Amino acid sequence: MFDRDTEGVRIELRSLTKHYPGQPAPAVDDISLDIPAGELVVFVGPSGCGKTTTMKMINRLVEPTSGEIRIGGQDALSLDPDELRRHIGYAIQQVGLFPHQTVAQNIGLVPKLLGWPAGRIAARVEELLALVSLEPSAFRDRYPRQLSGGQQQRVGVARALAADPPVMLMDEPFGATDPITREHLQNEFVKLQKQLRKTIIFVTHDFEEAIKLGDRIAVLREGSKIAQYDTPAAILAAPADDYVAGFIGQDVTLKRLALLRVADVPATGTLPDPLLPQVAADASLREALDAMMAHGSDRCSTPGGVLTYAALCAALGTRPAPAREEVISGDR
């Protein structure tokens, strides 16, 4: 199959359509989309617009009415659906862990189906638990009911990753968690994806999550029609129309602050300044601004030099506030 390589492979959807029997209109109406190898593409759109149906056609949980799906160049519709699903990780909001199996058994499910030897499965379970920040000795023998919702979702993500599939489908996998756990899971997931470079389709209702995780975002309308498909920065900078602008919502500047990294903004000089608040190169501009405000300073030090408030504003395309007091007490 297409996963001789565990890094992502390209997914191509061509005129993909699903018309559920008895429904007046197709749930997915002629979607064509290219998802580059190793990228994470987020689907956002209103409830019922066809996000889940589109995703479930890719692993053949839903059979398309017409159209084509190519995964790593192979025609997914000509493959055996069960076999196909063993090579595509799938994580969903309801998690779907088996209640009478332990965490280790749940994670080892697909490797077992693929015939891995027991030793290899056990090693993989340990590795994955550590990857999703669950101490293996404390968690491997527990049952799902003995875990919090957020821990269950981590196990769900670990299970989806278990056989190291090149493709992952994730349908609101962090949806059932509180905002703090959710942010923690998102941060871990961003780090993980940087290492793994899988091809991932991720469905969410949360535009902030889409910006944080997505290499690209597909904003969908009814029938999975694509309203805009681009990088988060491009969508925030130039929404295609009022519909997309409505999705982005208020506080575009705040969202761009969260998106842009310190390393994206030219620093003054090249020498860090030990007397200023210190900010990492991969920190967001939002974090840099928070550090400046916490120290009452209009600059902070980064590994690449000194970042000023004026440079930060220039990167956002906004004018700096006139006085420092306003920076400190201003409404962000």
**49 is an interface residue for ligand ATP by CB under 6 A:** yes
Q: How far is CA 283 from CA 181, 286, 288, in A?
A: 19, 8, 7
Q: How far is CA 216 from CA 38, 104, 225, 230, in A?
A: 12, 33, 16, 5
**60 is an interface residue for ligand ATP by CB under 6 A:** no
Q: How far is the CB of 280 from ligand ATP (least distance, A)?
A: 35
| Angstrom distance (rounded) from CA 211 to CA 21 | 35
**48 is an interface residue for ligand ATP by CB under 6 A:** yes
Residue 196: count of CB within 10 angstroms of its CB: 18
- Collapsing DSSP states into helix, strand and coil, what is residue 275? coil
Give the single-character DSSP code of 261.
B
If the CB atoms of residues 158 and 210 are measured against ligand ATP, the closer one turns out to be 210
If the CB atoms of residues 61 and 109 are measured against ligand ATP, the closer one turns out to be 61
**270 is an interface residue for ligand ATP by CB under 6 A:** no
- Which of 10, 31, 35, 51 is close enough to bind ligand ATP by CB under 6 A? 51
| Max Cα-Cα span within the chain | 69
**Beta carbons within 8 Å of 312's beta carbon, 6+ residues apart:** 265, 285, 288, 289
- For the segment 18-37, give every residue that binds ligand ATP (CB under 6 A): 20, 23, 27
If the CB atoms of residues 55 and 279 are measured against ligand ATP, the closer one turns out to be 55
If the CB atoms of residues 28 and 265 are measured against ligand ATP, the closer one turns out to be 28
The helix (H) or strand (E) run that includes residue 118 is helix 118-131
If the CB atoms of residues 164 and 206 are measured against ligand ATP, the closer one turns out to be 206
| Angstrom distance (rounded) from CA 129 to CA 109 | 14
**63 is an interface residue for ligand ATP by CB under 6 A:** no
- For the segment 2-21, give every residue that binds ligand ATP (CB under 6 A): 20
Beta-bridge partners for 308:
299
Q: How far is the CB of 61 from ligand ATP (least distance, A)?
A: 10
Residue 75 burial class via C-beta count within 10 angstroms: exposed 0-12, middle 13-18, buried 19 and up: exposed
Q: How far is the CB of 20 from ligand ATP (least distance, A)?
A: 3
Q: How far is the CB of 194 from ligand ATP (least distance, A)?
A: 27
With CA atoms as reference, report the closest residue to 16 among 77, 73, 61.
77
- Which of 24, 47, 78, 135 is close enough to bind ligand ATP by CB under 6 A? 47
Q: How far is the CB of 243 from ligand ATP (least distance, A)?
A: 15
If the CB atoms of residues 40 and 57 are measured against ligand ATP, the closer one turns out to be 57
Q: How far is the CB of 162 from ligand ATP (least distance, A)?
A: 25
How many binding residues for ligand ATP (CB under 6 A)?
11
Site residues, ligand ATP (CB under 6 A): 20, 23, 27, 45, 47-53
